[in-house]
Amino acid sequence: MSDGPTGLQKGLVVVGLLAYFAVGFIYFTSGLVVPLPWLAVLWAVWIVGMWQVARLLRTWSWWVLAAAPLAAAFWFLYLAVGEALLGWTA
């Protein structure tokens, strides 16, 4: 028996990575609601998150599965605050 990751763990980590890319699509299409200076901040947050996911992916960490839900929650809160405080609308 090896000490490396199992096939199930590798499969779930890849699913987590694909889910993070799916959330990235939402981030990159947010320009319909978010003005450009604030959109650049949002994109930077996603890119830093992708860097963290890539670091976790190298070790096949289970934490990759948490990246997409956390990114989606941050996106929702970012847009909700922008709408409430800065008047962003579609």
What does the pLDDT profile of the chain (90 residues) look like in tens digits?
Answer: 567 788 889 999 999 999 999 999 999 999 999 999 999 999 999 999 999 999 999 999 999 999 999 999 999 999 999 999 999 987
CA distance linking residue 20 with residue 70, whole number of Å? 9
| Whole-model pTM over 0.85 | yes
- Which residues make Cβ contacts (< 8 Å) with residue 64, sequence separation at least 6? 13, 16, 17, 20, 53, 56, 57
CA distance linking residue 34 with residue 10, whole number of Å? 35
CA distance linking residue 10 with residue 39, whole number of Å? 33
Place of tokens 């990759």: 64
